[in-house]
Amino acid sequence: MPLLIDGYNVLHIVGIIGRGVGPGGLHRSRLAMLNFLAESLEPVEVRQTTVVFDARAAPPGLPRVIDHRGITVRFAARHDSADALIDELIRADSAPRRLTVVSSDHRIQRAARRRQARAVDADVWYAEVVRRRQERQESLPESAIRPPVPLLEEDVNYWIRQFGGESLLKELADV
């Protein structure tokens, strides 16, 4: 079942938007969410997922459409907003009854329902994704849950800052 996701809507629900300080903070937040989706959705879902972001905060020089680990990412560069592009994509879908639209925007939900697509609030959808991910992880042996490669230092530092762990690290270093 194809997924059409209002990217910033989900970023707000996840709670990581705006926490990244300094240049590139929003870009890192988008990447964190896209990585979470790529790791949380089933492989067939990943290939059928399109995430739409407003273009005004797109990284400079980025194309309007990119592939991120199998997820199609679109920036609404030629539209007034991501909502306008999402509305256009809903209208253009050749099989809207199979489409799931993830947005808490009621106008987008009405547009999806008019085409008989499934509309889901971002918070409800995100909670379901987290629940399914936890169930899968609980059924795996511990060795399968660990990352297959060492984490990059910059990724580790980013998440430490996101969760306020810098002060704890300083305390541990002082011990």
For the chain, the structural domain boundaries read 3-146
Alpha-carbon gap, residue 73 to 5, rounded angstroms: 10
Alpha-carbon gap, residue 8 to 128, rounded angstroms: 18
106-159 confidence digits (pLDDT tens): 999 999 999 999 999 999 999 999 999 988 888 877 666 555 566 677 777 777
66-89 confidence digits (pLDDT tens): 999 999 999 998 888 999 999 999
**Higher per-residue pLDDT: 135 or 18:** 135
Percent over 90 (pLDDT), the chain: 54
**Quick one: pLDDT band at residue 17, thresholds 50, 70, 90?**
low
**Quick one: pLDDT band at residue 18, thresholds 50, 70, 90?**
low
Residue with tokens 């993830």: 102
Average pLDDT, the chain: 84
CA distances (Å), origin 102, targets 5, 11, 19, 167, 169 = 5, 12, 23, 37, 37
Angle of CA points 26, 58, 47, to nearest 5°: 90
Amino acid at 45: E
Alpha-carbon gap, residue 23 to 111, rounded angstroms: 35
**Which pLDDT belongs to residue 55?**
80
Alpha-carbon gap, residue 47 to 164, rounded angstroms: 34
**Which pLDDT belongs to residue 19?**
53
Alpha-carbon gap, residue 33 to 10, rounded angstroms: 8
For the ranges 39-48, 59-68, 141-150, the lowest mean pLDDT is seen at 141-150
Alpha-carbon gap, residue 157 to 148, rounded angstroms: 19
Find out whether 49 and 99 touch, Cβ atoms under 8 Å: no
Find out whether 69 and 35 touch, Cβ atoms under 8 Å: yes
Amino acid at 35: N
Taking residues 154-165, report their average pLDDT.
Answer: 70
**Quick one: pLDDT band at residue 28, thresholds 50, 70, 90?**
confident
**Which pLDDT belongs to residue 23?**
66
